[in-house]
Amino acid sequence: MSLLQSKAIHGVGGFVLMGGWAFFANRAHEMPAPLVAGIVQGLLTASITLFLKRTIEEIFQRTAGWLRIVLPPLAAFLISLVLLSVIHRLAGTPALLATISVPLTVSTIYAFLYTITLSRYA
């Protein structure tokens, strides 16, 4: 298994990138808010990535036609939106919209591209 296929590498990479974004998005607030937001987002990204991949595959396999292309990314968007919003709110993240905007966009684009990839090999 190469490093690019390693779930651990993907998890650590997601943690660093999206956790770093959350820290940056909350940098104007007093510590420890940026640090907490970064850690929360990093953990969420590492966890959600594995869950969304499996969810996209399940929805894709259980649907047909245009729903097969539309539902997996839509589900990924909604799941991410709810999880990110609720958990960051519970964590007291001050810059909530700025914090979740990038991870939500990235996860939705990933879901769309992964769904298209699945459809090419189906």
Give residue limits of the domains in the chain: 3-120
Length of the chain equals 122
Please tell me the predicted confidence (pLDDT) of residue 1: 53
Distance of alpha carbon 57 from alpha carbon 99, whole angstroms: 27
Please tell me the predicted confidence (pLDDT) of residue 9: 77
Distance of alpha carbon 116 from alpha carbon 111, whole angstroms: 9
Q: Express each pLDDT in 10-67 by its tens digit.
A: 778 889 999 999 999 999 999 999 999 999 999 999 888 888 888 999 999 999 999 9
Contact assessment for residue 22 and residue 37, using Cβ atoms and an 8 Å cutoff:
yes
Contact assessment for residue 60 and residue 72, using Cβ atoms and an 8 Å cutoff:
yes
